[in-house]
Amino acid sequence: MSELILEPNFSDADAFYAALADVHRDLSPQQSEQVNARLILLLANQVGDQTILQQALDIACQLNRETRDDQ
């Protein structure tokens, strides 16, 4: 069974974070949301495995609930 990788798996996490921040720098909130949605779909297509994608959705929703409950 496929498993979502939860350990750091970046070749250069800082470079990706900087590039991601740079992409969003001059965008309106709506444009930023559109870029994020496109990025999610592109990366989901790259992953391609429905089991892994569902695991990612489940974990993201759980973390969102925990964050919301902590506030």
- pLDDT digits 0-9 by tens, 28-64: 999 999 999 999 999 999 999 999 999 999 999 998 8
What's the pLDDT score for residue 1?
A: 56
CA distances from 28 to 11, 22, 24 (A): 30, 13, 8
What's the pLDDT score for residue 71?
A: 66
What's the pLDDT score for residue 70?
A: 72
Q: Enumerate helices (H) and strands (E) in the chain, giving the number of each.
A: 3, 0
Mean pLDDT along residues 22-26 = 97
